[in-house]
Structure formats: structure tokens, C-alpha cells
Amino acid sequence: MNEEHSVTRGEAAPRPHPRAARGCTAVFLFACAVLAVLLSFMATSEMESSPGLRENMAPLAVCTLAFGALSAVGGLALTGRRSYGGSAAAICLGLLIALRMWTLAPALHCWSYDSVGRDADGSYRCVNREHTAP
């Protein structure tokens, strides 16, 4: 056996590839961004679907969208310039975030109110409810 190629000479184990670690981290960040956008849609679905007063969840939706956008930017930064998959994921997430902001924008003028009501014509009514004990 040739001593130059022997494993017993104290050679270090092979190191993991940093490119693979960056790719896995980017996939994780893109998945977090998708979940944040879906949570943003779910947070206000009751408020947008039926008339009547509902709790104002628009600020939560905006915060989750901001987290999703930052996660998407982080994932894109980790994938690098030449990654077609990273670019495609970032474009899809950008379109989803733009769609969500378009559907959420009419309710944003009620940012500082407790409750939001959707009228029959589709407009939003802002109401502060008094929290008094009976």
C-alpha cells in the first residue's frame, strides 16, 4: 500500500461544501417568505370576505409581508447572480407580495383603528370599539 494515499496519516475528513450550505439556507429563506405571504393572506381573509365588523388584522399582514420580503431578498442574495432558480423564486414571491399589497391597500387607511367593517359596496369602514365591562 502506498503511504502517500493512506487515510491513516491523520488526514482531515472531507469538509462540507459551502455552496451547498448556502443553497440550503436560501431554500429555507424562500420557504419562510412563502409562509409569511400565506400567513398575510390568512390573517385578513375573514375581514375581506364578509360584511360586518371584524378585528383589524391589517398591521399584522403588513408586518408579515415585510418579513417575507426580507426573507426573499436574503434568499436571493445567498443564491447569487447566476442562479436561475433563485431569480425565478424571487420574481414569483415579488408578484405574490405585490398582489397581496394590492388586495390589502384599501384597508390600510384603518391602520390605527380596532375594528374594520366591510360594507356591501366593498369599501372599508373604520371603527374604534369601546372596551367596557357590562
Could you read off the pLDDT tens digit of each residue along the chain, which spans 134 residues?
Answer: 555 555 555 566 667 677 778 888 999 999 999 999 999 988 888 777 777 788 888 889 999 999 999 999 999 999 887 889 889 999 999 999 999 999 888 888 888 888 888 877 777 888 887 754 45
Strand partners, 125: 117
CA pair distance 12, 9, nearest whole angstrom? 9
Cβ atoms within 10 Å, residue 128: 11
pLDDT of residue 125: 84
Those residues with Cβ within 8 angstroms of residue 87's Cβ, 6 or more apart along the chain or in another chain = 76, 79
Give residue limits of the domains in the chain.
18-127
pLDDT of residue 13: 65
User: Phi/psi of residue 20, each to 5°?
Assistant: -70, -40
Those residues with Cβ within 8 angstroms of residue 69's Cβ, 6 or more apart along the chain or in another chain = 33, 93, 97
CA pair distance 119, 123, nearest whole angstrom? 5
